[in-house]
Amino acid sequence: MTSQCPISSPIRLLESLVVVSTEERLGTPQPSSASLLFVTGLHAVDAKNWPKAQETLTKAMVEAEKPFAPKTDLALALLGLGYMMASSPAQDLTKALQAYKASLTLWEQVHGKHSPHLAPLIFDVGVLTASVGNYALAVKILQRSVNLWKKAPTEVSVSPSPGEEPLTLDVVEKHLEYLKEAVAQQGGAAPPPGSPASTGAPPVTTPATPTQSPTATATQPVSPPASTPVSSPATPTTASSTSSSSRHSSSGHKHSHTHKSHH
């Protein structure tokens, strides 16, 4: 039986990750084919239309790997595939984590490893890391997210998916402390996969109080994988990812972005 997906839809990360330049705001920027397929694929995942999600997100990867496509397209496509892998009946959290880590590596190249834009994504990487049983590393990832979140200059929270609370520093700290306590109470033994302790999720949802703006650091770089259009969710592969990353290294765009506060 598939366990509940430990992460929320990456659609909520767009405000933080995909920034728009002043020139684009003044004009009429056209979204790329890959980004449109990414959004369509996420809607299919949320609707549990797995064949459509697989087809659409695989197409997003193909578009994102074309020459001269911006690396942000590949970074988004990887998030879409990772979310599908974590949500589908054929759930594979290990592959989902690989996709998210590869996406994070690309976003680091876009924003810089210590950019506040990365904080919410790093939180998701930490939750997935705990979900696959690497609790010590998960604690470190969440702690780094908390530490850098506190250094941001403004108060920002991440827009929630429908029916969810905003992701704020307060929420991240509660996840971190719960995971620390759960592991300590078991004498260093790992909580069972899928348990609240394994994901760092408090057993009772606590209303979030926006405190400070997200900021971020990076997990260990993982090369972005390439898509494998098969009947089951695509499996990220390191060899293919190296070429994908190099093709996109000259295509990244630097942008400016003003975070919106959510209280």
What is the per-residue DSSP string for 31-59?
PPHHHHHHHHHHHHHHTT-HHHHHHHHHH
Q: What is the pLDDT of residues 114-131, one digit of tens each?
A: 887 888 899 999 999 999
* pLDDT at residue 107 tops 70: yes
Residues forming beta bridges with residue 167, ordered by sequence position? 158
* Cβ pair 178, 197 in contact under 8 A: yes
Provide the 3-class DSSP secondary structure of residue 246: helix
pLDDT value for 229: 39
* pLDDT at residue 237 tops 50: no
* pLDDT at residue 195 tops 90: no
* pTM for this model (two decimals): 0.70
Whole-angstrom CA distances from 145 to 90, 120, 166 are 30, 8, 16
pLDDT: which is higher, 115 or 75: 75
Provide the 3-class DSSP secondary structure of residue 174: helix
pLDDT: which is higher, 136 or 208: 136
Stretch 180-195: mean pLDDT: 65
Q: What is d(CA 197, CA 28) in angstroms, rounded to the nearest whole number?
A: 45
CA 89 to the chain's CA centroid:
20
Q: What is d(CA 226, CA 238) in angstroms, rounded to the nearest whole number?
A: 8
